[in-house]
A = this chain, B = another copy of it.
Amino acid sequence: MTVGRKQRRERLLAAAQKAVAEHGADVRLKDVAQVAGLTSGAILYHFPDIQTLLVEANRAGMERFYDQRLKAISGSITPDRKLVVTIASGLPRDSEDEAVRLLCELGGAAGRYPRYAAMLTSLYDRQVAMYQVLLEDGAASGVFTLAQPSQTVARNIVALEDAYGYRMVARHSTIDHAAATQLILDYARLATGHLLDQPDPVGLDHTVPDAGVPA
């Protein structure tokens, strides 16, 4: 057995996600096949038709995004650290971020695909709930002083993340990951009454540690 039946399916789901991020929600079967390195027929051997594959792939893509956010939270300790890290994790790395591009494409198509609309609504609500827990937790421990109900703050934070995701995917010249993070933190500062100063190295360390012989 090369890879097992289940893993093969997941490779196709991953290929479909990439294809949607690249070609839109109405991506062609041929494009998915090309990303997967197969022919159209091979894909239809694993899935009854292309819609079934896409719906499953898109759902999986959203769940993966949400799961990674939850994982990002669990790292930090204090509520303020958690908030900063979580906000940063909700934004695309750069304009090529595959997961966010997928979400943008689906968000655009949600108006005409009720299924995607429902999935995105659920995703939004869960993210809001996630932030609400974080905010209430911080308020209970006295770290945050909420100026507004936690639901209001949570809804606005997630909304800001979404919107700056779109702006970054559209390659806004001055709104990059750092700028967007600061803009959202500016709101969070007002809403929580906490300074929320950025920790130095959050793990995104692109600089080479310069160990070894320079050629």
Q: How large is the interface on A (under 10, 10 to 19, 20 to 34, 35 or more residues)?
A: 35 or more
Check A167/B156 contact, CB under 8 A, given A107-B108, A148-B186, A191-B190: no
* Inter-subunit contact B101/A105 (CB<8 Å): no
A116: chain B residues at CB < 8 Å are 170
* Inter-subunit contact A171/B106 (CB<8 Å): no
User: What DSSP secondary structure best describes chain A's contact surface?
Assistant: helix
Q: Which of A149-171 contact B (CB under 8 A)?
A: 152, 155-156, 158-160, 162-164, 166-167, 169-171
Assembly stoichiometry (copies): 2
> Which residue of chain B is the closest to A114 with respect to CB atoms?
B171
* Inter-subunit contact A186/B107 (CB<8 Å): no
A143 interfacial by beta-carbon distance below 8 Å: no
A169: chain B residues at CB < 8 Å are 110-111, 117
A109 interfacial by beta-carbon distance below 8 Å: yes
A106: chain B residues at CB < 8 Å are 108
A43 interfacial by beta-carbon distance below 8 Å: no
Residue interface mask A168-200, B partner, CB < 8 A = 1: 011111010000000110110011000000000
Residue interface mask A92-104, B partner, CB < 8 A = 1: 0001000001001
> Which residue of chain B is the closest to A22 with respect to CB atoms?
B112
* Inter-subunit contact A167/B124 (CB<8 Å): yes
| A-B pairs, 5 with minimum CB distance | A108-B108, A159-B163, A117-B170, A163-B163, A110-B170
